[in-house]
Amino acid sequence: MVGVGLHDIINPSFTELLAAMEDALSAAGKTVLLGVGQEDVARQTRILGTLAEYRPDALIVSPALGTEIEDLRTLGNSGVPIVQVTREVEGAGFDFAGSDDVTGVALAVSHLVELGHTRIAMIGGFEAASTGRRRHAGYLAGLARHGLPYDPALWAPGRGTREQGRVLMEQLLALDEPPTAAVCFNDLCAFGALMGIQAAGLVTGTDFSIVGYDDIAEASMWHPALTTVFTQIPEYGAAAARLALARIADPQRPVERILTTPRLVVRASTGPMKPVRRRPA
């Protein structure tokens, strides 16, 4: 049996992740026991402790926001092999599988710059999580690559939810110098941003461009269909399962990190920046 502790299952990306891990583990004869921490470290500690009491062969964990090294090492010291997935607590010394988030967000920024946008926002994410830090680092790297200055007013940190995406989009549009495009922390946040754009009477892809992140199934079904970054969730989910199985077989093997390569998926939510209409002199 392999225990799986996720910080979220509301986001469809985590159901895709869970399905990929379960498929790979089931093929190896392992049963999955799931616990959900809901971004609460105390709850996560209780859940992982309970999972450990069942004496699993390994634990695969996507850590809750605020998880410290010692929170995981306490479990590791009990002899249960641990693999981190999607998020990681850096320096904990455990195997990890996830996406190259720095590269992924930089791709999104480059796409928007190539369309003529220079006022590009980033919506969602917290630097307290490794995913938030790396995606923000990708945003900064993308701007720097094209010689664009970083404007702190255009970074809108927050939860990766529809509700937060809508609220943050409305705040950005209210700026004296609003952006013309944005990269979102995930697809759910982008869906909320799309609603904020519509509520402002703007047309997505014409008046404002949005890029999501993950490429969940719903992204292609929205109107307009969401341009996003495909992070290969099934691939790194299966990789996390393989790391767990390898760690079970050889507890002394070197620590391994597996990063999938993201790919930009261009759809209808991005378009060329509209030329600025200047008043006649």
pLDDT of amino acid 278: 44
Q: Using CA atoms, how far apart are residues 178 and 144, in angstroms rounded to an integer?
A: 20
Task: Spell out the domains of the chain, with CATH numbers in brackets.
Answer: 2-99+232-261 (3.40.50.2300), 101-230 (3.40.50.2300)
pLDDT of amino acid 21: 99
Q: Using CA atoms, how far apart are residues 17 and 84, in angstroms rounded to an integer?
A: 12
Token pair 């410290």 in the structure block, residue? 68
- Of the candidates 224, 139, 149, 221, the residue with the CA atom closest to the CA atom of residue 184: 139
| Residues near 148 by beta carbon (within 8 Å), at least 6 away in sequence | 113, 118, 120
Q: Using CA atoms, how far apart are residues 47 and 3, in angstroms rounded to an integer?
A: 10
Tens-of-pLDDT digits for all 281 residues of the chain? 999 999 999 999 999 999 999 999 999 999 999 999 989 999 999 998 898 888 999 999 999 999 999 999 888 778 899 999 999 999 999 999 999 999 999 999 999 999 999 999 999 999 999 999 999 999 999 999 999 999 999 999 999 999 999 999 999 999 999 999 999 999 999 999 999 999 999 999 999 999 999 999 999 999 999 999 999 999 999 999 999 999 999 999 999 999 999 999 999 999 999 875 444 44
Q: Using CA atoms, how far apart are residues 47 and 30, in angstroms rounded to an integer?
A: 20
